[in-house]
Amino acid sequence: MTSPHDQQRPVIGMFWMFAAGLSFVGMNALVKMLGTNMNPIQAAFLRYAFGLVFLLPAIGAIVETPLTRRNLTLFGLRGVIHAIAVMLWFFAMTRIPLAEVTAMNYMTPIYVTAGAALFLGEKLAFRRIAAIGIAVIGVLIVLRPGFREIMPGHLAMLGTALALGGSYLLAKVMVRDIRPLAVVTHLSIWVTIVLIPFAIAVWEPPSLRDLGVLFVIASFATAGHYFMTLALHAAPVAVTQPVTFLQLIWATLVGTLVFHESVDIWVIAGGTLILAAVSFITWREAVLNRSGAISPTPPQGAEVPSAAR
């Protein structure tokens, strides 16, 4: 929940979300630049291993978190699910255009909304059901099954969004008893641990260039999450969420200018529908929170839809 003072700073919140979007698109472009030089699983592991450097300021939150059997189970389960999402995401980045990855990644909050109703007992009103339906139509527009070939990268992105949805549902459960900062930092640690055996299985000595690119990727990811946190602190999620649509525009431009990918109007249209549905759900939740119609939950927007990065 944001304070009244925070809600009076929408421009600042939108600026930080804009900066977060640029960081994430820059990171995506670098992942795609790696191409097939490195196995996606190895690249995912190194990205998270480098990212551990940026957790040093949060060491206090890590140490203070009690490692009870319940906490260890939740940390481990979320680490496995999120690691699967990360591996699928890195694979998809090297197989399909940037704009399609970005558009399909918007489905994660939709999965979270549906999953919260199915597994956490949250109410799913008709308006939210309609929004989910619109998002599904958006995905069908992006994929256009029957009108073009569905690539393995598309299936990987569907799996990525679904796995991320499961990860965030676990986070919603965990933040009831654990500090949000600890939840986020432990995620990076456990994802790195889970990825170790997979990375060993496909390991090949990386070049210094690839290591440098992966470190910059980790830096962009950290900066993006930090900027997003600042955005959510400055303004309500309902204000900052629509700004994430710019990521689709930047991804399309980078894909066209840097990687010579064709501009697909259907991807833009489908991505717009998906994001419109996400923004509506976000706005409705903000309205209900202000009216007291539902009990507030700690905001997860700092991680959605980009934590796989």
Least confident among 78-92, 206-220, 250-264, 284-298: 284-298
pLDDT (mean) for 254-262: 91
Confidence check: pLDDT of 173 > 80: yes
Question: What per-residue confidence (pLDDT) applies to 299?
Answer: 40
**What is the mean pLDDT of the segment spanning 118-125?**
82
CB burial of residue 191 (10 Å; 0-12, 13-18, 19+): buried
The residue type at 97: P
Nearest to 250 by CA among 25, 30, 68: 25
**Model pTM?**
0.84
d(CA 127, CA 141): 21
CA distance 60 to 57: 8
Least confident of 164-168, 193-197, 287-291, 294-298: 294-298
> Which has more confidence, 291 or 51?
51
Rounded percentage of the chain residues whose pLDDT exceeds 90: 49
Runs of H (alpha helix) within the chain: 10-34, 40-51, 59-64, 69-93, 98-105, 108-119, 126-143, 152-174, 180-202, 208-234, 237-240, 245-257, 265-291
Q: What is the average per-residue pLDDT within 195-220?
A: 94
Those residues whose C-beta lies under 8 Å from the C-beta of residue 100, and which sit 6 or more positions away, are 142, 153, 154, 157, 264, 267
User: Quick check: 195 and 41 in contact, CB under 8 A?
Assistant: yes
